[in-house]
Amino acid sequence: MVRLFTSLADVYGIGPRFLSRFRKLNIATVADLIRHFPSRYEDFSVISPIADATPGQTVTIIGEIIKTNLRRSWRKKMMIVEAQVADQSGMIKAVWFNQPYIKNTLTTGATFNFSGKVGTYAGENVITNPLFEAAGRSDGTKHTARLVPIYPETKGMTSKGVRFVIKPILANLEEISEFIPYEALDENGLLEINEAVRAIHFPDTMEEAEAARRRFAWQELFLLAIANLRRKAELIRKRALPIPKNEAILTAAIKKLPFVLTGSQKKCLDQILDDLSRPAPMNRLLQGDVGSGKTAVAALAAINAAGSGYQTAFMAPTEVLARQHYTTLTRMFGEVGVKVGLMTGGGWGRIFWERGLESEIKTAEMRKLIAEGKIGIAVGTHALIYGDSPFHKLGLTVIDEQHRFGVAQRAMLVSRGGTVPHFLSMSATPIPRTLTLTVFGDLDLSVITEMPAGRKPVVTKIVAPEKRMEAYQFIRQEVKAGRQIFVICPRIEQEAENNAGALGQQELFKLELKSVTAEFEKLSRQIFPDLRVMMLHGKMKVKEKVEAMDTFAKGKADILVATSVVEVGVDVPNATIMMIESAERFGLAQLYQFRGRVGRGEHASYCLLFTDAKGENVQQRLQALTTAKNGFELAEMDLKMRGPGQFLGTRQTGMPDTAMRSLQNLSLIGTARTAAEAVLKEDPSLTKHSDLKKQAEEMVGRIHNE
């Protein structure tokens, strides 16, 4: 009997060649191998007498080898193996190209199954490159005469190889214990695990294969829900410092705002303040379209905390954004008496003591002041927290535009001295409900659904190559009228060139895309030599980036050419055109975010999507951007069109691939969550479900490690 956790090296019949190929696929044990699912099936279940096999048909024939022959084709230098195969009804020729070794296995006089597609050659029926195996095996067939699993063929491991190894293992596998409660299987019509394992690899019918797939997809979502719900429950049991609402400072701060908060902003702020006042840590995601005013909400929460004597770590993904937040906090709320520190790279920071009094300070000095509790709000990049900044009384952690939600945020919630700081993350990526229920299932959500008054819709146009000059003309007009332009390019040149040796077709293609540097050269020298063009990309030094952003924000440049890393939160109300090169390379949600950079001021704004791609798909996808009513609608579309892996990026969520794929199965998400809730309600610590507990913990491990 083969056990699940047996190493493949200890399984009889697997040679070193297979072992090393499996190792490359991260398959080391029987359990790993069983989780390596087929991507599709080839239907060879129709068995036909040779005489009845018709061209175009995919069949299995069973016949005796009459004679074989190896020859070289005369036109192309190709090795061809031919075999005459006969049954009682007739004869057919089987042909294989470029696999000369096959001849040796085709013993004359032996009977084989041949599965493949029937064709014709020189007026005769032939079966080309058929899969074959000895006929009449008592243990059933692997490659022929049935639904045959096709595995993702990577790293030198063929489907045939996987079938060869996995079939005998399945036949001798120990019984796997079912970890999904039987009631849940029943209620949701799911296959039991042993049945499902067999059916996903060697199904008798397509229905059975589908049922197996459904069970595993459901399983992932169920485990994910269990993991999230347990995490949430665990967090509720943790202690946090309750931060009372401080009416006086809030009223003062809100009065200082140069605008009136939208109803939506107020509602979100209330939800946050309510959470903060509790002794259990908040774990909340503040969502809202680009420009919806998330910063003000988070800033008010931080000011409230400061007013009540608690510190806030206010983090941004980049230094440019950190500076912007510092400016917002000090400009808008400079009068309310909160001391704000900005931690920047290079060993220096900046402290706002009060209106009119700011000083440069060494980072080390800043850390000391933070530790003594002299700084109310510490603003910086993530290094601020990851670097061991000791806070005197850290009450709240705010993270802005954090795309790697999953991993980072969980790491952030480590407790300090027995309590966990309240946690608020902000994101402009509209996350579809399906994902918030699953991937982010342990988060509470606040959504800003309203845009500040006076925002104008951005006119969005797809620009075909022949309209490029016209578009440039339009850009020139806007600049002449005093406006500013963003130009976004997919990637920078250097990166691809460095990797040029290792590039596949896909990557080579990317090489041809507009690069920032090339685009910058073109725009600044040829197209707009008379305008002030600047460049911003990820490879620049922080200082250069800050300077570039600053110059642009102050209106001292007309055009900013940037990569997609363009500081996602930058706020330049005078910019009215967002022009995007090779727009088809971006996800809809991302394009939507870029577009949100404009349309913030009083002037009409435009988003120009440049694309050379002609495909109907591309046009349709981009067209969605012109019709969708909001970011959520687009995000759902994006999710459907590209799948969750592409949508969020597997690495960004830290989710295992299999779980990501399951997310595509929207109908399963709800039932999995309901079942998880039911199990945990009855057995919160899963003491009666130890296998399930183990599996859920393993899922958490996979989330953190992949």
Handedness of CA 540, 545, 547, 551 (dihedral sign): positive
Question: Which range in 159-167, 294-302, 307-315, 343-351 contacts ligand ADP by CB under 6 A?
Answer: 294-302
Give every CB contact of residue 642 below 8 A, 6+ residues apart in sequence: 587
Nearer to ligand ADP, 125 or 564 (CB): 564
- In the list 38, 130, 149, 288, the residue contacting ligand ADP (rule: CB under 6 A) is 288
Nearer to ligand ADP, 291 or 317 (CB): 291
State which H helix or E strand residue 654 sits in. Answer: none
State how far the Cα of 562 lies from the Cα of 70, in Å rounded to an integer: 59
Question: Which range in 53-61, 564-572, 595-603, 637-645 contacts Mg ion by CB under 5 A?
Answer: 564-572
Residue 259 binds ligand ADP (CB under 6 A):
yes
- Count of helices and strands (H, E) across the chain: 27, 22
Nearer to ligand ADP, 291 or 656 (CB): 291
Residue 429 binds ligand ADP (CB under 6 A):
no
Residue 296 binds which entry of ligand ADP, Mg ion, none, with Cβ cut-offs from 5 to 8 Å by kind? Answer: ligand ADP
* Binding-site string for ligand ADP from residue 551 to residue 590, where x marks contact by CB under 6 A and - marks none: ------------------x-x-------------------
Asked whether the beta carbons of 397 and 301 are under 8 A apart, the reply is no
Residue 599 binds ligand ADP (CB under 6 A):
no
To the nearest whole angstrom, how small is the minimum distance from the Cβ of residue 366 to ligand ADP? 25
For residue 689, report the phi and psi dihedrals to the nearest 5 degrees.
Answer: -130, 65
Residue 571 binds which entry of ligand ADP, Mg ion, none, with Cβ cut-offs from 5 to 8 Å by kind? Answer: ligand ADP
Taking CB atoms, the residue at the shortest distance from ligand ADP is: 293
From the list 24, 44, 42, the residue with the least C-alpha distance to 32 is 24
From the list 629, 511, 515, 426, the residue with the least C-alpha distance to 637 is 629
Q: How far is CA 640 from the centre of its chain?
A: 13
Question: Which range in 224-232, 285-293, 376-384, 559-567 contacts ligand ADP by CB under 6 A?
Answer: 285-293
Residue 452 binds ligand ADP (CB under 6 A):
yes
Residue 441 binds ligand ADP (CB under 6 A):
no
Q: How far is CA 195 from the centre of its chain?
A: 31
Nearer to ligand ADP, 635 or 680 (CB): 635
Question: Which range in 121-129, 145-153, 283-291, 687-695 contacts ligand ADP by CB under 6 A?
Answer: 283-291
State how far the Cα of 592 lies from the Cα of 17, in Å rounded to an integer: 48
* Per-residue CA distances from 580 to 256, 488, 584, 590, 631 (Å): 37, 5, 9, 11, 18
Residue 376 binds Mg ion (CB under 5 A):
no
- In the list 235, 261, 383, 518, the residue contacting ligand ADP (rule: CB under 6 A) is 261
Q: Burial letters for 236-253: b for 16+ Cβ neighbours within 10 Å, e otherwise?
A: eeeebbbbeebeebbebb
Q: How far is CA 43 from the centre of its chain?
A: 33
Residue 293 binds ligand ADP (CB under 6 A):
yes
Q: What share of the chain is helix, strand, coil (3-state, %, to 5)?
A: 45, 20, 35
Asked whether the beta carbons of 458 and 533 are under 8 A apart, the reply is no
Asked whether the beta carbons of 487 and 594 are under 8 A apart, the reply is no
Residue 295 binds ligand ADP (CB under 6 A):
yes
Residue 631 binds ligand ADP (CB under 6 A):
no
To the nearest whole angstrom, how small is the minimum distance from the Cβ of residue 293 to ligand ADP? 3
Tokens 């059916």: give the residue. 199
Residue 569 binds Mg ion (CB under 5 A):
yes
- In the list 141, 265, 344, 611, the residue contacting ligand ADP (rule: CB under 6 A) is 265
Residue 290 binds ligand ADP (CB under 6 A):
yes
Question: Which range in 247-255, 523-531, 538-546, 563-571 contacts Mg ion by CB under 5 A?
Answer: 563-571
State how far the Cα of 405 lies from the Cα of 396, in Å rounded to an integer: 17
Question: Which range in 43-51, 174-182, 291-299, 613-621 contacts ligand ADP by CB under 6 A?
Answer: 291-299
Residue 428 binds ligand ADP (CB under 6 A):
yes
Q: Burial letters for 139-156: b for 16+ Cβ neighbours within 10 Å, e otherwise?
A: eebbbbbbbbbbbeeeee
Nearer to Mg ion, 569 or 644 (CB): 569
From the list 191, 192, 138, the residue with the least C-alpha distance to 168 is 138
- In the list 213, 215, 294, 483, the residue contacting ligand ADP (rule: CB under 6 A) is 294
Residue 291 binds which entry of Mg ion, ligand ADP, none, with Cβ cut-offs from 5 to 8 Å by kind? Answer: ligand ADP
Tokens 């997609």: give the residue. 564
State how far the Cα of 637 lies from the Cα of 374, in Å rounded to an integer: 48
- In the list 269, 296, 588, 609, the residue contacting ligand ADP (rule: CB under 6 A) is 296
Say how many residues touch ligand ADP, by CB under 6 A: 18
Nearer to ligand ADP, 293 or 644 (CB): 293
To the nearest whole angstrom, how small is the minimum distance from the Cβ of residue 245 to ligand ADP? 20
To the nearest whole angstrom, how small is the minimum distance from the Cβ of residue 602 to Mg ion? 20
To the nearest whole angstrom, how small is the minimum distance from the Cβ of residue 396 to ligand ADP? 17
Nearer to ligand ADP, 394 or 428 (CB): 428
To the nearest whole angstrom, how small is the minimum distance from the Cβ of residue 273 to Mg ion? 20
To the nearest whole angstrom, how small is the minimum distance from the Cβ of residue 596 to ligand ADP? 7
Structure tokens at 112: 């084989």
- In the list 68, 262, 308, 576, the residue contacting ligand ADP (rule: CB under 6 A) is 262
Structure tokens at 634: 């687009």
Q: Contacts by 132-139 with C-beta closer than 8 Å and gap 24+? A: 132/94, 132/106, 134/110, 135/62, 135/111, 136/111, 139/167, 139/168, 139/171
Nearer to ligand ADP, 572 or 686 (CB): 572
Residue 445 binds ligand ADP (CB under 6 A):
no
Structure tokens at 548: 């570039």
State how far the Cα of 62 lies from the Cα of 51, in Å rounded to an integer: 12
Residues that bind ligand ADP (CB under 6 A): 259-262, 265, 288, 290-296, 428, 452, 569, 571, 600
Q: Footprint of Mg ion on this chain (CB under 5 A)?
A: 569
